[in-house]
Amino acid sequence: MTGSHVQTVLERIYATEAPELADVEAVLRITDGDELGRLFDFANEVRRWFVGDGVLLRRIVEFSNVCRNTCQYCGLNRGNDRLQRYRLTKEEILAAVGNIRAAGIKTVVLQSGEEDDLDADWLREIVEEIKSSRDAAVTLCVGERRREEYRLWKEAGADRYLLKIETSDPGLYGQLHAGMSFENRRRCLRDLAELGYQTGSGDLVGLKGQTLRHLAGDVQFFKQGNFDMISISPFIPHPQTPLAEEPAGDLLMTLKMTALARIVSRDAHIPATTALGSLHGRDERPKVLAAGANVIMPNFTPASYRRHYEIYPNKRCVNEDARACPACLEQMVGAMGRWVDYARGDSLKRSLKCEVGSLK
């Protein structure tokens, strides 16, 4: 493509409700430096226009690494018997959340493997407790559950839910998730949105068997889903998984996917994922922030447990004191001419919907 042709294709993708697979694939094929520059500038401009220069911080507490699932890429999958499994107590979770609030951060993500015997009432009590005493947005990320469980947590005050589709192609999904159901995952995403959660999804880049067509399908999926949050991470091989010998996902492809997610979603919150803080031992998050991302999600699991939550190897900050991070982040973000935003960072789509509603 020539530079002006790239511009035309990007404008077409931006303007339509249903981006053409061929257009998206053409963008994913770009390797020329000038053309890449146009893509990232376009995405950066959309980001600046719709979400501004603030970089939101979300803190994650990985409260359990117990998992019933079989995701071939994930170090927590149930077949990994070398992993010491843990679950934080309610008190430990609330203490970790307390530390997050003390650091001035108003969003906490409670994440775990998909536990078979997760006690929905136990989690409800934790959500209630956090919401009763602290001005914080609570995001849950505990996998595929029944609608009634989602409802219970929503009524307890949970604000948001993350459930990545990982890949939007049912065939590829089936290859990577033996015994799991693509249809059920989509059902969960529908339920979450209907119940009023700010809903996040996303994919992995560089999965075994994944083609450009699959990735282009993911971009279409993001557009159709109208998600409040979209998270795109490169695949990182984990030694105790069936994909141990596969190559890691490509940084450039991850950047292109992030840029496209920004262009089609416009005002979704898009993180520079932790996986990008540890790709090839380098911190690549500034590049993602310059290609459309506006969120960073550092880890706030108590240090003694953090090493057991190894979804992929060399996770950043595994050995660092989590409190040391804000200063590094302020510096990284400040160097880009942007600023760290300590607000709750609610969905921009919702505030727009409220405004529209209140006009009637």
Residues of this chain that bind ligand FES (CB under 6 A):
67, 69, 71, 74, 76-77, 113-114, 143
Give the residue at shortest CB distance from ligand FES.
71
DSSP-derived secondary structure letter, 219: H
Q: Which of 233, 265, 294, 299 binds ligand 5AD (CB under 6 A)?
A: 233
Using CB distances below 5 to 8 A depending on partner kind, what does residue 73 bind out of ligand 5AD, ligand FES, none?
Answer: ligand 5AD
User: Could you tell which of ligand 5AD, ligand FES, none binds residue 164, using a CB distance below 5 to 8 A set by kind?
Assistant: ligand 5AD
Output the CA torsion sign for 51, 56, 59, 62: positive
Q: Report d(CA 118, CA 129) in Å as an integer.
A: 18
User: Which of ligand 5AD, ligand FES, none has residue 67 at its interface (CB below 5 to 8 Å by kind)?
Assistant: ligand FES
Nearest-approach distance from CB 161 to ligand FES, in angstroms? 14
Instruction: Decide if residue 279 touches ligand 5AD (CB under 6 A).
Output: no
Residue 26: CB atoms within 10 A of its CB come to: 18
Interface with ligand 5AD includes 74 (CB under 6 A)?
yes
When asked if residue 173 is in the footprint of ligand 5AD (CB under 6 A), the reply is: no
238 binds, among ligand FES, ligand 5AD, none (CB under 5 to 8 A by kind): ligand 5AD
Binding residue (CB under 6 A) for ligand 5AD from 115, 159, 166, 246: 166
The full length of the chain comes to 360
Closest CB to ligand FES among residues 114, 267: 114
Helices (H) and strands (E) in the chain, counts: 14, 10
- The pair of structure tokens assigned to 136 is 């914080």
CB-nearer residue toward ligand FES: 176 or 293: 176
80: tokens are 């990994």
Q: Which of 63, 150, 221, 235 binds ligand 5AD (CB under 6 A)?
A: 235
Sorted by sequence, the CB contacts under 8 Å of residue 203 that are 6+ apart come out as 164, 165, 166, 167, 168, 215, 218, 221, 232, 257
Query: Residue 44, Cβ neighbours under 10 Å: how many?
Result: 17
Closest alpha carbon to 141 in 115, 102, 173, 167: 115
Q: Which is nearer to ligand FES, 67 or 293 (CB)?
A: 67
Name the minimum Å distance from CB 68 to ligand 5AD.
Answer: 15
- Bridge partners of 141? 111
